[in-house]
Structure 1
Amino acid sequence: MPETDLFSNEQELQKLCRILELSNSTNDAECLVATRKAQQILSKYGLTYHAFISKLQYKSTHSTKRKIKELQSKIKEQNAKIARLEKRQSSDLNTANSTPRFLGPIQGLKKYLMGNFSLKTHERALLEGIKEIEPKSKEAYMILICARRHGVEYKLANNL
């Protein structure tokens, strides 16, 4: 009764390979003994030389095909990641290149300017000094001028 599988027994497979190498000997007796010993190992697993080589070829081809499919899958995943990153980067660039917009009360515009822009020291001090903002006051106009200077498009809500 043949044993399980020669290819799953690494030690036995290595032994067969060493014996098959001996079949290259220039000594005819040594070559014959190696060939017969290899035949014994193969028959122990229910194999002939032809079946062994076919199975070896199939395993090699199957393994290679499996590895190719795995690599194709990884490439597909990587391409998807690249596409997502390019899309995100493109979106970030579009956002960065677009004019900042603000919609809300003037007090919110002041907070928006202070939180999102690198203001010069005197601008920051000026904005920090504004506590109460009346409609159409000089404080309101200073905030609007600062917003325009930094390229912020704004539309103020009815309640300043």
Structure 2
Amino acid sequence: MALVKWAIDPTHSEVQFKVKHLMITTVTGYFEKFNAEAETEDDQFTAPQNIVFTADVNSISTNNEQRDTHLKSADFFEAEKFNEIKFVGNKYEATGGSDFKLHGDLTIKGTTKPVTVQVEFGGIVVDPYGQTKAGFTVSGKISRKEFGLTWNAVTEAGSVVVSDEIKLQAEIQLVKQA
């Protein structure tokens, strides 16, 4: 039996990250260019496999051009050398109801580490144009320092400027491919 292929619907998907700034507020950023694909054994998104997500580091946006330029620099992502973030899923595990854990390998700035994210499966629907779509809310946390994103500064009072913990949040809509 041939596997069913799914691809991102970029106009109905978004990928965000949140990080504490000065440990008192949260800055939200997102990637404007990203891709995701998966394969399943049937139309119901049973047993997904070959799950791959990529984000274009040069598309990072925090609604502040100066900060975005700094994030693309060698202090953080080093976008000229490492222009892609990649996640390859290797285990999709049911945890109850519409909740799942997706285990995989995340590569940022040339460093690959195992990561587990929470997935809420929103369901499958056929849109008004006859396309079959599957929806997901993905969330997780990573340590930026584990991926070589170690830049920081300290305030006069001794507080760090940028937290180590990065919260990940994505709304993903996949389209069944013909």
TM-score range, shorter chain: under 0.3
Q: Which has the higher strand share?
A: 2
Q: What is the TM-score normalised by the length of structure 2?
A: 0.17
Please give the TM-score of this superposition, normalised by the length of structure 1.
0.18
- Structure number with the bigger relative contact order (C-alpha 8 A, sep ≥ 6) is 2
More helix per residue: 1 or 2?
1
